[in-house]
Structure 1
Amino acid sequence: MDLLDFTDCNLYFEDALPAEAETLLDKASAEYGEPGAEAALLSAYALAPRNLTVLVGLYRFYFYQHRMEDALHVAEQAMSVSGATLGLPDDWRHLTPECVAAAAADRRFALLRFYLLALKAASIVLLRLRRIDEAKARLRMIAALDSKDHLDSAKLLEVIAEFHEQPDDETALAA
């Protein structure tokens, strides 16, 4: 399946967003790095908890603030929302090529790509949390579903493998 086929697809940020939530997202963007930014994002979330634009904003805020546990929670929430819309299993470990193909057959490539990118985002957060095996399991799933590696999960798995083959600094210093 070609995960770059966006013909006849709506993108997540094209979904309707309540005007008040949009104003709050703009406020959070303007106040990034200040205490009011998170409050604005959480207020937008309270207004539109299933809106992917709000979830992406919240994820990015937490990720760039190095609040990885919070970022992981939001990435998983984004997967839950997009996965439910696509009719995917609740647990990413139960994804199959067939259920992914069914979502794609409904011409929901953009939302399917969003779901897989949220799964990849969770993987990256898990790497930052040093939960390597959990991250690799998610990346392997993406690689199995993305035969052309458009999402670079196979490449990322190669980098992880190379990194873990190298001796850590203490071993290198002792030699």
Structure 2
Amino acid sequence: MDMLDFEEGALYFDEPLQAEAKRCLDSAAEQYGKGSAEQLLMRAYFLEPEHPIVLVALYRYFYYQHRLEEALIVADRVLKVFASRLEISEDWNQLNEMEIGGGVLISMTMTRFYMLALKGAGFLELRLGLYESALARLKKVVELDSKDRLGARALIDVAQDALRNGAGPETAMHS
């Protein structure tokens, strides 16, 4: 399946967002360097636990704060939410090209977002030194993205090199 081959459609960010959740996200952006930003993001999450904008904001916050374990939790939440929306298996290990194709029929943009979250989770696992699970996620992305439009193949090489060299979490990627 070609992950760049899609026509314009409703973007996953076009969903209406509750006014209070939007206010929380806006305030969190203004207070990014302060401890209050996380509290505002969590309030937005409790108001809109499945909204893509909220999930992306939370993911980015944790990622840029170098809180990779929390970012991975959010990435896994995205996978669960979007698997339900796309009517595909909640277990990404079970996905095949036919099933992901069914998701494309519902929404190519949501399917691409799902695939990017799966790749992102694999990348986070690389950074955390969880090479075997990272490799499994990234191989699944490549299996479903036959033309490697999402660029997961290069990350597979990193994970395989790390495993060959006996790397552990203490030598995880730090970029």
Q: TM-score, normalised by structure 1?
A: 0.89
Please tell me whether residue 12 in structure 1 is matched to residue 12 in structure 2. yes
- TM-aligned CA deviation for residue 61 of structure 1: 0.6
Shift of 1:165: 5.0
In structure 2, distance between residues paired with 1:12 and 1:82: 10
Deviation, structure 1 residue 77 = 0.4
Give me the whole-angstrom Cα distance separating, in 2, the residues matched to 1:82 and 1:149: 21
1:119 corresponds to which residue? Answer: 118
Quote how far apart the aligned CAs of 1:164 are: 5.0
The superposition leaves residues 17-75 of structure 1 with CA deviations (integer Å, 9 ceiling, x where unpaired) of 11111111111111112111001100101110010110110011111111122111111
How far did residue 85 of structure 1 move? 0.3
**Mapped pair 1:138 → 2:133:** no
User: Does the 8 Å contact 2:132/2:159 carry over to 1?
Assistant: no
CA distance, structure 1, for counterparts of residue 29 and residue 35 of structure 2: 12
Amino acid at match of 1:149: D
Change (3 A) 1:129 1:167: closer
1:39 is matched with: 39
Taking every aligned residue pair, what percent have the same amino acid on both sides? 40
Structure 2 unaligned residues grouped into runs of 5+:
168-175
Question: What does residue range 12-161 of structure 1 map to in structure 2 within 5 Å?
Answer: 12-106=12-106, 108-161=107-160
Displacement, 1:161? Answer: 3.0
The alignment's TM-score, normalised by the length of structure 2, stands at 0.89
The CA distance in 2 between the partners of 1:167 and 1:73, in whole Å, is: 26
Q: After superposition, what is the alpha-carbon deviation per residue over 1:74-128, rounded to whole angstroms, capped at 9, x for unaligned?
A: 110011111100011011111011101111133x111001001111111111111
* Distance in 1 of aligned mates of 2:11 and 2:2: 16
CA distance in 2, matches of 1:126, 1:159: 12
Amino acid at match of 2:120: A
In structure 2, give the amino acid aligned to 1:161: Q
Output the CA distance in 2 between the equivalents of 1:25 and 1:98.
Answer: 37
| Aligned AA (2:86) | L
Q: What corresponds to 2:172 in structure 1?
A: none
Specify the structure having the higher radius of gyration (Cα): 1
- Partners of 1:156 and 1:126 in 2: CA distance: 11
